[in-house]
Structure 1
Amino acid sequence: MMKNQVRLLRDKELEEAAIIYTNVFSGSPWNEPWSRNTAYARLYDISKTPGYIGIGYFHSENNKLIGFIVGNEEQWANYKTFYLNEICVLTSIQQTGVGTSLLTFLKELLVQRKVKEAYVSTERGQGKPARFLKRRVLSSINPVY
């Protein structure tokens, strides 16, 4: 079995993430008109927001990015939350554990940072994204959908 790597994203890897983002969200069920430039602009903007966390899943053989999470930690009066802006995995390898690995890494990081809640806003995908997140990892961090 291959040993893939999950780690924090570097700024220079946002361009590779933008390619994945464009391919995934231009397809079904989203069918949104993303280009590499607009996807990069979105990911870049998220990365420059205070509290940014970006996590990538990299293939062991060629170190290519094949999935990622980006979001922001936010301070509230007496606790911190995390807004999961985007989770994205190459369509060809979805449902192989990549998303779960990304969320497991995120959960461990959020626990270390004493983040109390994680939330996501998703309407498309027939509810599958929210169910996936709830079923997997975020359930133990007080998810808000």
Structure 2
Amino acid sequence: MKEELIRLDESYLTAIAEMYRNAFSGDPWNDDWSDTSQLTEYIRDVSCYFQGLNYGLLIDGKLSAVALGSIRHWWEGTNYNLEELCVSKDLQGQGIGSRFMNLIEEDVKSMGLAGIFLQTDNDMPSYKFYRKNGYHELGEHVSFYKSVK
């Protein structure tokens, strides 16, 4: 099996949207991405309209994993801000996500960035995945939300 890390551009938008829909429509997330237009705009948002730093993992020439994010500057250093990560549903649980993250970490390091920042829910499998791959919680960091509808 040949794996290759690539930088994604807008030509991958449809493939990214379909992989994202398939990865997150079932358990445990059960996201309803039936509105393709809304999904496409979301992908554009988190990929910073492809001005961000977006990665793909090709396995035997097929897009098999996606990481969408951007470079963010902060007083403590410049980081890769990972917004979304997904692996093709049929390839999950095979170590591909961990290998993909390692490739991303190597590329980010080669760019001189300080680290990778991301958020996830602590009751989802992704929480254990990131912990297993050496990520730690920022105890002082809290997310807030207020509905204004």
Give the TM-score of the pair, scaled to structure 1: 0.82
Matched, 1:66 2:67: no
Q: What is the aligned partner in structure 1 of residue 95 from structure 2?
A: 97
- Equivalent pair of 2:46/2:69 in contact (CA under 8 Å): yes
The question of whether the paired residues in 1 share the 8 Å contact of 2:48 and 2:70 is answered with: no
The C-alpha deviation readout for 1:1-38, integer Å capped at 9, x for no partner, is x2122211122012101001011111111111113332
Q: Check if 1:133 corresponds to 2:130.
A: yes
Which residue identity is paired with 1:40? T
1:30 corresponds in structure 2 to 29
1:143 deviation in Å?
A: 6.7
Q: Percent identity at matched positions?
A: 23
What does 1:2-13 correspond to in 2, within 5 Å? Answer: 2-13=1-12
Specify the code of the residue in structure 1 equivalent to 2:132: R
Counterpart amino acid of residue 18 in structure 2: I
Match of 1:107 in 2: 105
Q: Indicate the residue corresponding to 2:18 in structure 1.
A: 19
- Supply the distance in 2 between the matched residues of 1:41 and 1:49 (Cα, whole angstroms): 9
CA, structure 1 residues 21+14, in 2 after alignment: closer, same or farther (shift >3 Å)?
same
Cα contact 2:9–2:50 (8 A) shared by 1: no
CA change 1:27–1:108 in 2 (3 A) is same
Which runs of 5 or more residues in structure 2 are unaligned?
142-149
The CA distance in 1 between the partners of 2:66 and 2:30, in whole Å, is: 19
Higher-Rg structure is 2
For the 8 Å contact 2:33–2:39, the answer to whether it is kept is yes
**TM-score w.r.t. length of structure 2:** 0.80
Q: Deviations over 1:25-62 (max 9, x none)?
A: 111111111133322211112223696111111121xx
Over the aligned positions, Cα root-mean-square deviation in angstroms equals 2.3
For residues 71 and 56 of structure 1, the distance between their equivalents in structure 2, rounded to whole angstroms, comes to: 12
Report the number of matched residues.
Answer: 138
Secondary structure in 1 aligned to 2:23? helix
Q: Give the gaps of 5 or more residues in structure 1.
A: none
